[in-house]
Structure 1
Amino acid sequence: MTSRPVRIAVQIQPQHADYAQIRDAVRRAEDLGVDVAFNWDHFYPLSGEPEGKHFECWTMLAAWAEQTSRIEIGALVTCNSYRNPDLLADMTRTVDHISGGRLILGIGSGWFEKDYSEYGYEFGTAGTRLDALGAALPRIEKRLGRLNPPPTRDIPVLIGGGGEKKTLRFVAQHADIWHTFSDGDELTHKIGVLRQHCADVGRDPSEIEISVNAGTSTPQEYGDAHRALGASLFTLPVGGPDYDFTPVRQWLTWRDAVNGSSA
């Protein structure tokens, strides 16, 4: 996979915060020069107080689209189970227009059982949820091609997950970005699996950007090594209610140094 410029993303976790704090976090992310701001698609907090403050994903993305002017935005990731695929395509196109062409459609098969049980969705199994994702992706593509007005651009699709038989094949077939939590030798192995799926479907693997979760690591610990493996989009979680961007500044300095040296 060819070398790409490094990009830095933040996942602004929409939990345990008032919306004013989330709005301010998005503003600060854009002002700092972050490349992408993600939220997530859940209905309850994933950590801390399980019944704590929380906000919905896609209505928030529409607000971010109006609030911002440069940064790309998206969900890391949308749960395929929560919305009809044709509706999701229309929501995606709409937020794409609101943002002036800055939306990334991040999508995955879903995993957080509490969301399903509390909101009345069938949880099923990991296999049935993946099969549903596989069926939804072509429907989303087809609907995007029929909407009037059409999207402002070919909306980048990000698929999250690491399943080698199904998920990575979906990435080869449909994704522009693959988001993974894999590291080191495991990441190398999964990139090899993805390359094979790309060969099987006639896709150039260099078309797919590799996105990794940098967690709380520093660029010196994590960035150079994973860039050498092929990653170019590094995502940092930023938790509420305080949304501390201090670690993000280190990553932005590293990004600028790396991209400047390779220019």
Structure 2
Amino acid sequence: MRSRWTGIGSSSVTNTYTNPVRIGVQLQPQHADYASIRRAVAEAEQIGVDIAFNWDHFFPLTGEPDGKHFECWTMLGAWAEATSRVEIGALVSCNTYRNPELLADMARTVDHISNGRLILGIGSGWFERDYDEYGYDFGTAGGRLDDLAEALPRIESRLGKLNPPPTRKLPVLIGGGGEKKTLRLVAKHADIWHGFGDAEVIERKHRILDEHCAAIGRDPAEIERSVGTNRHGEPGGVGERTYALGTRLFTIAISGPDYDLAPLREWVAWRDEKNKGLAG
């Protein structure tokens, strides 16, 4: 989904978006049996969310640290068959867990299984236990970002060589708010930027991302702005405040073992109200 601005190179606050609001859900694959996760993604699709994300970790991030947990990309392949409309993806895939060429091939494959519904979410990684227990070099935050910068062109190159190619130009989502490195990578490679924070933080990140786009001659309208919130966030609060700054993708994080998706209905209703009249 491409966004369209009036005014190029100015602050996000003073630009007017005309693209629609989208609602995502991050079904965190922790503490739950897979049957519960599968039911949750099916219910989320029935409710009407636009995107269903999981995450790319090997252990729970909250609650019992050795609780139940499942792997990201094999799950996305299953979701591709278990759903028919909703877009799917990782929020986000950790770059250093897989060879970039392999990740490109995995993404292309899930894209085909899902009939063109994959979003390739990627980030530099941060959860040290994943690295330590699975034998990856944790290194430094800066080093992991350098690895991501090196990997993104390799992913793009491999996607251009695969036979058959992806069904569409795979949307790339980059997560993270680092102003010197991450947002520069977003400006160069991403279709979607995903971040966290209150309205003041989001406003600053949008402005800096616009500046990085201007530095390389890219239209900032080409990058959809996304924000994450938890199940207690309300459309009338965080939604309205960040909507006013140009955010158009809102993703609600919900954890197992019991996936209470009731908040999604309120967000979907808010989306539909915001999007009235856009189709005309």
Q: CA deviation at 1:168?
A: 0.3
Counterparts of 2:85 and 2:241 in 1: how far apart (Å)?
Answer: 29
Q: How does 1:219-258 map to 2 (within 5 A)?
A: 219-258=235-274
- The 8 Å contact of residues 14 and 240 in structure 1, kept in 2 or not, is answered as yes
Report the identity percentage: 68
Q: Which residue of the partner structure matches residue 199 of structure 1?
A: 214
- Quick check: 1:214 aligned with 2:229? yes
1:75 is matched with 90
CA distance in 2, matches of 1:145, 1:123: 30
Tell whether 2:143 aligns with 1:128.
yes
Secondary structure of the corresponding residue to residue 233 of structure 2: coil
Deviations 1:179-205 (A, max 9, x none): 000321221111111111101111100
- Pair 1:188 & 2:216 matched: no
- The answer on 1:106 being equivalent to 2:121 is yes
Q: Distance in 2 between matches of 1:58 and 1:44?
A: 15
1:202-249 C-alpha deviation (Å, 9 max, x unpaired)? 110001000101222111111111111010000001111110011111
Is the contact made by 1:3 and 1:230 (CA closer than 8 Å) also made in structure 2? no
- Aligned in 2, Cα 1:261/1:214: closer, same or farther, shift over 3 Å? farther
Q: Is the 8 A contact 2:199 2:238 kept in 1?
A: no
Match of 1:9 in 2: 24
Q: Give me the CA root mean square deviation.
A: 0.9
Is the Cα contact below 8 Å between 1:64 and 1:73 reproduced in 2?
yes
AA partner of residue 183 (structure 1): D
Q: Structure 1 residue 261: deviation in Å?
A: 4.8
Distance 2:54 2:233 in 1: 20
- CA distance, structure 2, for counterparts of residue 108 and residue 223 of structure 1: 24
Tell me whether 83-92 or 176-185 shows the greater mean CA deviation: 176-185
Tell whether the 8 Å contact from 2:25 to 2:252 is kept in structure 1 after alignment. yes
TM-score (norm 1): 0.98
Deviation, structure 1 residue 260: 1.1
CA distance in 2, matches of 1:220, 1:127: 37
Indicate the SS of the match to 1:249: helix
- Corresponding residue SS for 1:225: helix
Are the equivalent residues in 1 in contact too, given 2:121–2:174 (CA < 8 A)? yes
Name the CA distance, whole Å, in 2 between partners of 1:38 and 1:53.
18
Query: Aligned partners of 1:113 and 1:214: how far apart in 2?
Result: 23
Partner of residue 90, structure 1: 105
CA distance in 2, matches of 1:159, 1:214: 17
In 2: Cα distance, 1:205 partner to 1:221 partner: 25
Greater shift, 170-179 or 214-223, is seen at: 214-223
For the residues of structure 1 that align with 2:70 and 2:19, how far apart are their CA atoms?
34
**Distance in 1 between residues matched to 2:196 and 2:53, nearest whole Å:** 16
8 A Cα contact 1:101 1:153, kept in partner: yes
Q: Deviations over 1:17-66 (max 9, x none)?
A: 00000000010011111100000000000000000000000000000001
- Answer yes or no: is 1:144 the counterpart of 2:159: yes
State the Cα distance separating 1:4 from its structure 2 match: 1.8
Say which of 57, 63, 86 aligns to 2:72. 57
Matches within 5 A, 1:145-160: 145-160=160-175
| Equivalent-residue separation in structure 2 for 1:52 and 1:252 (angstroms) | 31
Amino acid in the other structure paired with 2:142? G
Question: Distance between the aligned counterparts of 2:18 and 2:243, measured in 1?
Answer: 8
Give the Cα–Cα distance (whole angstroms) in 2 for the partners of residues 226 and 186 of structure 1. 10
Aligned-partner SS, 1:101: coil
Partner residue of 1:38? Answer: 53
Q: Aligned with 1:231: secondary structure?
A: coil
